[in-house]
Chains A and B, each alone.
Chain A
Amino acid sequence: MREPDKRPRHLERLLALLLLALALFSPPLVIIADRPLAGGLSALPLYLLLAWGLVIGLAAWLLERGAREGDRE
């Protein structure tokens, strides 16, 4: 089994996730997130950690689901 990714649009979804992550971690959105919270500190780190967690969660969901489907084939 040298080609594990026979599932439809699996690679496209991963590519889309990569682009989403790139957009979330890059300036336009990062600049938007850079504003003070109620306590006075910038929300930037909080935003980054949340976005990061979201991306990891999505990746885990996509990849693990894909791996299970791959096993069933």
Chain B
Amino acid sequence: MRSEAVILAAAFGYLALLFLIAAWGDRRASQGRSVIGSPTVYALSIAVYCTAWTFYGSVGRATTQGASFLLIYLGPTLAMLSAPFILRKMVRVASDQRLTSIADFISARYGKSRVLGALVALVALVGITPYIALQLKAITLSHAVLVSYPAPIELQLAEERFWVDKSFWVALVLAVFIILFGTRHLDASERHEGMVAAIAFESLVKLVAFISVGVFTVFVLFNGVGDLFARAGADPQLRQALDLSAVDGGALGWSGLLLLAFLAFLTLPRQFQVLVVENVDERHLIRASWLFPLYLLAINLFVIPIALAGMLLLGGSDPDSFVLTLPLSAGLEALPLLVFIGGLSAATGMVIVETIALSTMVSNQLIMPLLLRSPRWRLESRGELRGWLLGIRRVAILLILLLGYLYHALLGDAYSLVTIGLVSFAAAAQFAPALLLGLYWRGANRRGAITGLVLGAMVWAYTLLLPGFAQSGWLPLSLIEQGPWGLDWLRPYALLGLEGWDIYTHSLFWSLGLNLTALVGLSLFGRQSRLEQTQAALFTGALRRDAMPTSLWQGQTSRGELRDLLTRYLGAKAATRVLEGGDDDRPAPPALIARTERALAGALGSASARVLINSVVRGEALDLEAVLRILDTTSQTLEYNRRLKQKSEELARIGEELRGANERLRELDRLKDEFVAMVSHELRTPLTSIRAFAEILRDGKDLPDAKREQFLEVVVQESQRLSRLIEEILDLARLESGRLTLNPQRLDLAALARHGLAAVERLQAERGVTLESAIEPGEAWVMGDPDRLAQVIINLLDNAGKFADDERPRVRLTLSRHKTHYRLAVEDNGPGIAEAERERVFEKFHQIKQQQGGKRRHRPKGSGLGLPISRGIVAHLGGRLWVEPAPTLGGACLIMELPEALDD
């Protein structure tokens, strides 16, 4: 079954199947029933990340570097977890501005710079071509292993000519595939639906193939994972294989590789293509963020078992081929073929996407700008250029594949698969500073990005690419060992004497360090053009606003001129679609100019599109200052509005509080004035009468003794009243300042109540008030100051008497037990106190107000201080004093509650 014919039929049959799937996908898309509009297909297409390098090289790396091969996949896992912060923004910007490649993206961010775009395209071309070569090499190698096993393969490779090399023909078939399905539309920002469908299918094939080998190895060659690991553990040579010490550079190398994989995943042209350009719906990122890492986990699950099994059973043969040689060694026929197809799918998937991405870059960023500058190209007589543009892209595809094949043919076998892959990763990582910093820092400018990229790429080439050439024999090995011209400190793997690091971390440190330093430094001390400022604002604020405001174009042109431009570059159909009819002599509205630029950008790249638009629009096409102002104001206004709203709410609340406090203060102030007036009045009344009677006594020498006696009695009584009043005011002052001294002791409230009743009995009788009492408990022990409590009780009784009914005044005192408290209630049959007034009677000036507001009553009134003082005293003793409607007499009822005293 391993005959040449069968293998060829399988390989090219598989490629034919890819054509069918892609054609089917494209047909469905043109019918409007897209097959790639699902997050699962999106996640599978991202799995183009797993190339032949993953398929064959992971096992090889695991045999020499232990678990570090996992880092290549943990980095992307981190990148996908950060999708809500990084990738979502990239997708949003790219779809807003119709950006078609990472070169276009970076060029657009830095003011649609043509230099930067060309630079990124060039670095990608130099850095990634070896990676394409690697895929072709993997196809050749796996084919050779399959055909010649168990004979060694080295001899065969050397003998073959290129037309015998299967990978040459595979590359040709791929070129046809890519030209058919990758350049169907001129607009590179349009999705390549058929191609994505084929890529997603390839991802499934390689996963199934790899897992099949894994299951076969673990469960057929060995009796499960336990058996395999036990046998590997028993082998002294393998015992250390998985240790951290097997990783180059140890912990530092570990971190360096993790960072490298993280950055490369975001910056590799093919990843940008599937992640950003081919993204149909931003929400697909959500599911892909965990589904793709799950795919990576699944495809890596069996790498270590296969590596261990290979080392146990096939020690000495090439570890990169273990995936194939393990089933071959067991004498199987079908499984090796499946593995070969799996490896083929991994390799072709990568080559297809990478070539599309690179060809878009090369045609839009390298060739188009050159052509636009040449005067011959600008001749009006050229007619329609659409065909030319597609032709350029197709030639670019062929050239890139040819370049990859040449590299593969010349490379020799010095490099293992993984080495080339990581060198390419490090090249792509040079885009990361300009890309990532540009997404978040508005200050990053063009000169910084260009200088950083140039420096980073040069250091990368010196520390990774050239030593690689030296190892392949193209340069003398002394370059690595002694440094160029024997300069020790220039050794590429130990720059400035930095030794002991693994080569990738070493290269990454120097290249990214210089790259970042130049970018930040020149940005901090450089200036940005207006277009740069606008683009920077659009990129950094992409998630905060919708699309670019288009109403700011102020240049003038006619529809006819735009139509000519579109027809020349994109064809008549596209021109009609963009312009949607209308009179050609009429001036074009600003939104139309913006749409035209976007349409051109999708096909030619943003930098070229801008040049073309400027060539037909008179005056400054876009009022950049206005755009910037609007961008700034929209983001700032949003923030400002939010804060303003918060502040005004706060202010309203504080204002309300202040108004209340002010109201209260004014009330208190008024009450205080009234109180002062009242106190003065109360003090003056007895004083006046004392003075009057004293004057009578002084002048009336001949008054009868009885009269004199009577007058003196009045003077004495009025003096007593005066001193009582002053005493009350003093009490109040003490209460309020907290200086009132009480002498709490155990006392019998019942006795105190009886005593109080007796004290007021005569006075009340004189006023005609009927006193009743109901003292239930024989004894009621509470803690209290006897004098003060007596004062409270007398005050309550006195008060009640004053407010009782005018005709038949009645006052009733009750003492009862209430749970652990005693309640002493004094009620009257007066008009009662309205609900709203009940708390206010305890305000110290309250009564004054009532007296002035209501009709004057014939019975003497107090100062209005009795109740506030009483409440203060009761509160000091741990009790309460409040008002309720009287239960039996129907007037007001004042209740004093004191806690029961504990038995000693």
Which residues of A are interface residues toward B (Cβ below 8 A)?
2-5, 11, 14-15, 17-18, 21-22, 25-27, 30-31, 34, 36-37, 39-42, 44-45, 48-49, 52-53, 55-56, 59-60, 63-64, 66-67
Contact B242 A18 (CB under 8 A): no
- Closest Cβ–Cβ distance, residue A16 to chain B (whole Å): 10
Contact A31 B251 (CB under 8 A): yes
On chain A, the residues within 8 Å of B240 by CB distance are: 42
Query: Is B254 interfacial (CB-CB < 8 Å)?
Result: yes
Please tell me which one of the listed residues A2, A27, A42, A49 contacts residue B254 in the complex, with CB atoms under 8 A apart. Answer: A27
Given contacts A25-B258, A40-B239, A42-B243, contact A53 B78 (CB under 8 A): no
Contact B74 A25 (CB under 8 A): yes
Query: Is B379 interfacial (CB-CB < 8 Å)?
Result: no
Contact A56 B244 (CB under 8 A): no
Contact A22 B78 (CB under 8 A): yes
CA–CA, A60 to B233, complex, Å?
A: 35
Contact B293 A59 (CB under 8 A): yes
Given contacts A52-B293, A64-B287, contact A42 B77 (CB under 8 A): no
Query: Is B222 interfacial (CB-CB < 8 Å)?
Result: no
- Closest Cβ–Cβ distance, residue B290 to chain A (whole Å): 4
Contact A63 B244 (CB under 8 A): no
CB closest chain-A residue, reference B547: A2
Query: Is B666 interfacial (CB-CB < 8 Å)?
Result: no
Contact B78 A25 (CB under 8 A): yes
Most interface-central of B81, B251, B294 (chain A CB within 10 A):
B81
On chain A, the residues within 8 Å of B251 by CB distance are: 27, 30-31
Contact B230 A39 (CB under 8 A): yes
- Closest Cβ–Cβ distance, residue B828 to chain A (whole Å): 60
- Closest Cβ–Cβ distance, residue A1 to chain B (whole Å): 8
Question: Can you name 20 extra interface pairs (CB under 8 A) apart from A17-B81, A40-B239, A64-B287?
Answer: A2-B546, A3-B543, A11-B85, A15-B85, A18-B82, A26-B255, A34-B243, A39-B234, A40-B233, A41-B239, A42-B243, A48-B70, A49-B301, A59-B290, A60-B291, A60-B294, A63-B286, A63-B289, A64-B290, A67-B286
Contact A41 B233 (CB under 8 A): yes
Contact A52 B297 (CB under 8 A): yes
Q: What 4 pairs across the A-B complex have the smallest Cβ distances?
A: A40-B233, A39-B233, A27-B251, A59-B290
On chain A, the residues within 8 Å of B234 by CB distance are: 39-40
Please tell me which one of the listed residues A14, A21, A39 contacts residue B78 in the complex, with CB atoms under 8 A apart. Answer: A21
Please tell me which one of the listed residues A2, A37, A55, A60 contacts residue B77 in the complex, with CB atoms under 8 A apart. Answer: A55
CA–CA, A27 to B243, complex, Å?
A: 13
Please tell me which one of the listed residues B82, B242, B286 contacts residue A41 in the complex, with CB atoms under 8 A apart. Answer: B242
Contact B290 A63 (CB under 8 A): yes
Q: Mark B72-84, 1 if CB is under 8 A from A, else 0.
A: 0010011001101
**CB proximity to A under 8 Å, residues B214-255:** 229-230, 232-234, 238-244, 251-252, 254-255
Please tell me which one of the listed residues A5, A31, A41, A63 contacts residue B232 in the complex, with CB atoms under 8 A apart. Answer: A41
On chain A, the residues within 8 Å of B617 by CB distance are: none
CB closest chain-B residue, reference A61: B290
- Closest Cβ–Cβ distance, residue B508 to chain A (whole Å): 16
On chain A, the residues within 8 Å of B77 by CB distance are: 21, 25, 52, 55-56
- Closest Cβ–Cβ distance, residue B461 to chain A (whole Å): 29
Report 29 cross-chain contacts, Cβ distance below 8 Å, ordered by A residue.
Answer: A4-B286, A5-B84, A11-B85, A15-B85, A25-B77, A25-B78, A25-B258, A26-B254, A30-B244, A30-B251, A31-B251, A39-B230, A39-B234, A41-B229, A41-B241, A42-B66, A44-B66, A44-B242, A45-B66, A52-B70, A52-B77, A53-B297, A56-B77, A56-B290, A56-B297, A60-B290, A60-B291, A60-B294, A63-B287
CA–CA, A72 to B606, complex, Å?
A: 39
CA–CA, A19 to B868, complex, Å?
A: 64
On chain B, the residues within 8 Å of A5 by CB distance are: 84
Contact B244 A42 (CB under 8 A): yes
On chain A, the residues within 8 Å of B286 by CB distance are: 4, 63, 66-67
On chain B, the residues within 8 Å of A37 by CB distance are: 229, 233
CA–CA, A40 to B66, complex, Å?
A: 14
Given contacts A4-B283, A5-B84, A63-B289, contact A45 B242 (CB under 8 A): yes
CA–CA, A26 to B238, complex, Å?
A: 24
Query: Is B44 interfacial (CB-CB < 8 Å)?
Result: no
Query: Is B274 interfacial (CB-CB < 8 Å)?
Result: no
**CB proximity to A under 8 Å, residues B247-279:** 251-252, 254-255, 258
CA–CA, A66 to B289, complex, Å?
A: 13
Query: Is B48 interfacial (CB-CB < 8 Å)?
Result: no
- Closest Cβ–Cβ distance, residue A42 to chain B (whole Å): 4
CA–CA, A30 to B546, complex, Å?
A: 43
- Closest Cβ–Cβ distance, residue B438 to chain A (whole Å): 21
Contact A39 B293 (CB under 8 A): no
CA–CA, A49 to B293, complex, Å?
A: 12
Contact B229 A39 (CB under 8 A): yes
CA–CA, A59 to B78, complex, Å?
A: 11
CA–CA, A52 to B291, complex, Å?
A: 13
- Closest Cβ–Cβ distance, residue A13 to chain B (whole Å): 10
CA–CA, A46 to B84, complex, Å?
A: 29
CA–CA, A22 to B252, complex, Å?
A: 15
- Closest Cβ–Cβ distance, residue B460 to chain A (whole Å): 24
Contact A59 B287 (CB under 8 A): no
Query: Is B612 interfacial (CB-CB < 8 Å)?
Result: no
Query: Is B796 interfacial (CB-CB < 8 Å)?
Result: no
On chain A, the residues within 8 Å of B301 by CB distance are: 49
Most interface-central of B233, B234, B546 (chain A CB within 10 A):
B233
